[in-house]
Amino acid sequence: MSYDVALYILKQLSVDRFYSGNQLAKELGVTRTTVWKAVQVLQLYGIDIYSLPGKGYRLATGVELLDHDRISDGLKGADLIGSVKVLPSINSTNHYLQRLAQEGEPGGSVVFAEFQSEGRGRRGRHWASPFAKNLYFSLLWRYSDTQCGVGGVSLAIGIAVVNALEAMGISGVGLKWPNDLFYRGRKVAGILLEMSGDPSGDGYVVIGVGINVDMKGVSGTEQITQPWVDLATLNSGCALSRNMLAISLLQSINSMLLQYQISGLSQLIQRWNVLDVMFGRKVVLHGVNESRCGTAQGIDDSGALLLRNNGNVFRIHSGEVSLRLAENSGDLCS
């Protein structure tokens, strides 16, 4: 069964009335069994669909699918954004775009997915990706002999995402070095950058962004291993338009990359430090072989975390380290 059948059915269903299986089958030119199987697929993706014999199907809650034309039209004038793809299901938008990049895909290409079977966060962690609930997308940025390097790109993108959320009326979201977005101790978004090439020469970066938009009714959230929150909760329970959010995010990222190409992080440090949820707090950095503690002091213009310990300030580059608040600062940090 093709995704086209399932997507057509999803577009036809609403929260207001039941839609009969016979009518759906007639419109699609398929059997009732095919319609039933398509509904099962949608339910496996996490779409809450009511089924009532003799009446048909309807949605428990509204679903806004991503609209390629609407997103593309909203990005006119965004100099760095090229083609936009919207896929129904994929293993990972980063994986997909990395493959295209290796085949010569031009910079500025963007890939959205309604569902990811292997969504990933930093350090290989799983990223929950229910169908048509959140935003998952990747952007290909090609660079050539950039004077600013690429070490600070993830931090710049974090600021761009906060700027976009504020433009959508969501305030209070902060940044956690190097690439997470938090609201009062709960994660709302993450950024994953994967680079190929010379950091100071020619190469490309695949910029992946995942944002919890509306997780209401999603099953399996109890398996998420850290505190989280979605934008609907931050918006008084009202879901944001995923299409409008997609446009706002890409416009903001486009502007940020244009600025970054000129001045790197030098003009962004103050903004980052204002948004830094760890600034001035006692933290522990967990690495592969050791842990280090101290007081977070923001970032420098290379994107390194500044960590003060015993009167010394150390510069920490992301690598394979994890930043956490010191659980017992009296024992761990001076």
Q: Which residues contact 111 (CB under 8 A, 6 or more apart)?
A: 84, 85, 87, 90, 93, 96, 97, 100, 137, 138
271 assigned to active site = no
User: Interior CA angle at 123 toward 119 and 129, to 5°?
Assistant: 15
Q: Other CB atoms closer than 10 Å to residue 77's CB: what's the count?
A: 8
Joined together, the tokens standing for residue 194 give: 């994967």
Closest CA to 179 of 203, 144, 216, 151: 151
- The rounded distance, in Å, linking the Cα atoms of 4 and 10 is 10
Peptide bond into 199 cis (omega under 30): no
The catalytic residue among 37, 85, 187, 216 is 187
Look at residue 259 and give its three-state secondary structure: helix
- The rounded distance, in Å, linking the Cα atoms of 285 and 275 is 19
User: Measured over all CA atoms, what is the biggest interatomic distance in the chain, rounded to whole angstroms?
Assistant: 75
176 assigned to active site = no
Q: DSSP states of 30-89 as a string?
A: --HHHHHHHHHHHHHTT--EEEETTTEEEESS------HHHHHHHTTT-TT---EEEES-
The catalytic residue among 99, 125, 281, 324 is 324
Joined together, the tokens standing for residue 331 give: 């024992």
- The rounded distance, in Å, linking the Cα atoms of 38 and 32 is 10
324 assigned to active site = yes
The catalytic residue among 120, 122, 133, 282 is 122
Residues labelled as active-site residues: 122, 187, 324
